[in-house]
Amino acid sequence: MITMLETAERLKQGLTTPGELIGVALAAARDSEHVFIAVLDQRAIDEAKASTERWFRGAPLSPFDGIPYAAKDLLDIAGSRTTAGSITRINAPIALEDAVVIGALASQGMIPVGKTNLTEFAYSGLGLNPHFGTPTADIQLREVRVPGGSSAGSAIAVQRGIVTSAIGTDTAGSIRIPAAFNGLVGYKASTGRYSMAGVHPLAITLDSLGSFAHTVADCVAFDAAMRGLKEAVIQSASLCGLRFVIDDGVMSDSALQPAVRENLLSMMALLGAAGAHVERRPIASVARTRELIARTGWLGAIEAWRLLGEVVEGPQGLRMDRRVHARLLSAKNIDAAAEAIIRSLRLELMSAMERELEGAIMVMPTVKHVAPPMTPLENDDELFAAVNLETLSLTMIGSLLDMPGVAIPSGKDSVGLATSILFSTTRGHDDQLLSACLAIETALNVRK
């Protein structure tokens, strides 16, 4: 699968043009069922024409001028409506301006080809959507598997090769989970890394942006473009100087599938052999965070209810995905005192995590299991609720503590389904994390 950086090199050498890239991407987008809620044909064609002319004059806006990408339909793109994957927003006002990150990408000449599908209101980790259909990977299996959510369409747009990179949002795992299920790299940033202006909110304390790609290097380059930078300034760390801590508490979880555990240990052994320092020990802050969520409730649910409660209980509520409707309605009953407890302990746990890791990178499975079959989850709401909670259980830790995370494929199980490792650092140390993940990618590619 061609990468964003390889595409940039082809543009530089004159082996392709923005017009050709956009033509292929638009055709693939139209032919891929349920991946996009809106395809932005005219904007993409017009911008590709302007980009082609810039390359012809030798004056591209950046090395990525003319490269197509996709954006989750939570981000405003001028001239289109932001549905948030909900039938209740099918007649939402047309956006008059681009979201800030879309504008930053435009300043580099990158072109949005469409707005991707998602779980309604971004409120599920499995990616099902009864209104716009559920996008699925183009892999041949006996049973169709869920794409992961909520950023399902963005992940599948990259998995299918429609685009080399795509924007997602992540409040509890919505980038990292679909990346894991589809064998992609998924980067969830700290909440302050990008402007959230023009992004439809779910839980404002936890909402973050990030990206999908086939490589860490592409995510690093796309991150720079999302911040309006012409080139990535983040360089690869030295693997020999990196410290990794595998959380033993998570690794002993009985729900962890054998392939997920074994592939993680095998990959970390390779990194250790390549010079990294790898240790296994329980991380108390992880155990305490999991306990807090289980005992007191989810901060994201409290904030989501505050934002969406009127929709859920209003005349449009019964039009919603029944599973999303039920989960949001249950959030109404979370004890009002719980929020103050969660916020207070959250700050304490963030400080505790800083002390425990001491600059090391935390390692755990991204998800405990591979992508589950879709049909049983569509037909059994109790099963859906249980599997959804289990799917989100590990990524919620980093979300609550505002830890940037990178999901990296770790291998496959016996039937060919992807497994994934989540590498995380403490709040605001995104550059350190991305630098380390570049080193991880280099080491693993050398040893293939």
pLDDT at 230 over 90: no
Q: How far are the Cα atoms of 271, 332, 371 from residue 153, in angstroms, in the given order?
A: 32, 29, 15
- Tell me which residue range forms the domain holding 44: 1-285+348-448
Q: Pairing between strand 165-170 and 243-247?
A: unpaired
Residue 3 belongs to a domain: yes
Residue 181 belongs to a domain: yes
pLDDT digits (tens, 9 = 90+) for 378-429: 999 999 999 999 999 999 999 999 999 999 999 999 999 999 999 999 999 9
Residue 305 belongs to a domain: no
Of the residues 32, 62, 124, 150, which is catalytic? 150
pLDDT digits (tens, 9 = 90+) for 128-168: 999 999 999 999 888 999 999 999 999 999 999 999 999 99
pLDDT value, residue 32: 96
pLDDT at 343 over 60: yes
Residue 306 belongs to a domain: no
pTM: 0.98
Task: For residue 344, count other CB atoms closer than 10 A to its CB.
Answer: 10
pLDDT at 448 over 60: no
Residue 308 belongs to a domain: no
Using alpha carbons, select from 210, 115, 113, 119 the residue that is nearest to residue 162: 113
pLDDT digits (tens, 9 = 90+) for 21-60: 999 999 999 999 999 999 999 999 999 999 999 999 999 9
Residue 69 belongs to a domain: yes
pLDDT value, residue 140: 86
8 A C-beta contact, residue 399 and residue 172 = yes
**One-letter amino acid of 103:** G
pLDDT value, residue 227: 98
Alpha-carbon distance 192 to 188, whole Å? 11
Using alpha carbons, select from 28, 244, 40, 327 the residue that is nearest to residue 48: 40
- Peptide bond preceding 150 in cis form (omega within 30 of 0): yes
Domains: count for the chain: 1
Ramachandran angles phi, psi of 405, nearest 5°: -145, 145
> What does the pLDDT average to over 71-86?
98
pLDDT value, residue 109: 98
Of the residues 174, 211, 399, 424, which is catalytic? 174
pLDDT digits (tens, 9 = 90+) for 300-338: 999 999 999 999 999 999 999 999 999 999 999 898 899
211 part of the active site: no
pLDDT at 447 over 60: no
> What does the pLDDT average to over 228-250?
96
Ramachandran angles phi, psi of 256, nearest 5°: -70, 120
446 pLDDT tier (thresholds 50, 70, 90): low
Residue 371 belongs to a domain: yes
Of the residues 32, 51, 72, 236, which is catalytic? 72
Using alpha carbons, select from 86, 155, 153 the residue that is nearest to residue 367: 155
List the 111-116 sheet strands across, edge first: 36-39, 111-116, 68-72, 165-170, 208-213, 185-188, 405-412, 418-424, 361-365, 243-247, 277-281
Give the CATH number of the domain where residue 368 resides. Answer: 3.90.1300.10
- Residue 198 token pair: 């023009």
- Residue 207 token pair: 């909402």
Average model confidence (pLDDT) for the chain? 97
Residue 303 belongs to a domain: no
Query: What secondary structure does DSSP assign to 315-370, as a single string?
Result: TTGGGS-HHHHHHHHHHTTS-HHHHHHHHHHHHHHHHHHHHHHTTPEEEEESSSSP
410 part of the active site: no
Using alpha carbons, select from 225, 230, 210, 214 the residue that is nearest to residue 75: 210
Using alpha carbons, select from 395, 364, 406 the residue that is nearest to residue 211: 406
188 part of the active site: no
8 A C-beta contact, residue 365 and residue 250 = yes
